[in-house]
Amino acid sequence: MARLSTENKKSNRLPSKVKLDDKGIDLGSILCSACQDAPESAAHLFFECDFVKKLWTDIFSWCCISPREIHNPLDLTLALDVGPRNISFKMCIDAVFCTTCWWLWRARNMINFSHSRWPSNLLHMVKVWSFH
Ligand SMILES: [Zn+2]
């Protein structure tokens, strides 16, 4: 889908902690704010963090898509190509995936800038905002 392709290009430009560190900006720590277990790259932030994997599993279940490992936006695009799906369904799923990425970025920013905890209601927020 066009939007996922665009999101793929944008994700490489996101100011993740790793990206900012590469530019010489001292953040003190480049560890993921949610898990504190790995450097916060775009791939970790959106696909590899254990907090995020749980959300994607729930999203796939809600969308009636077989669970799968997601490592990058291309994997999301491939998830849309499985099975006989019509274009309306794919457009809805595209909206859900983009909304999920937006909420993941928002959750990351809430932790970093508002000292919040990882939101426990992300699945609910994605469901509400995907078709808002
Ligand atoms: Zn993490």
- As residues whose CB is below 5 A from the ion ligand 1, the structure lists 32, 34-35, 49
Sign of CA dihedral 42, 44, 45, 46: positive
Centre of ligand 1 from the C-alpha of residue 32, in Å: 5
Centre of ligand 1 from the C-alpha of residue 10, in Å: 20
Identify the DSSP state of 48: I
Centre of ligand 1 from the C-alpha of residue 49, in Å: 4
Q: Are 31 and 21 in contact (CB under 8 A)?
A: no
Sign of CA dihedral 97, 110, 122, 52: positive
- Read off the pLDDT of residues 62-117 as tens digits, 9 standing for 90 and up: 988 887 778 877 887 777 776 667 888 888 888 999 999 999 999 999 999 998 99
pLDDT band of residue 127 (cuts 50, 70, 90) is: very high
Q: Is the pLDDT of residue 27 over 80?
A: yes
Phi, psi of 67 (to 5 degrees): -60, 145
CA distance 79 to 75: 6
Q: Is the pLDDT of residue 9 over 60?
A: no
pLDDT of residue 1: 47
Predicted TM-score (pTM) of this structure: 0.83
Centre of ligand 1 from the C-alpha of residue 85, in Å: 32
Centre of ligand 1 from the C-alpha of residue 15, in Å: 16
pLDDT of residue 83: 64
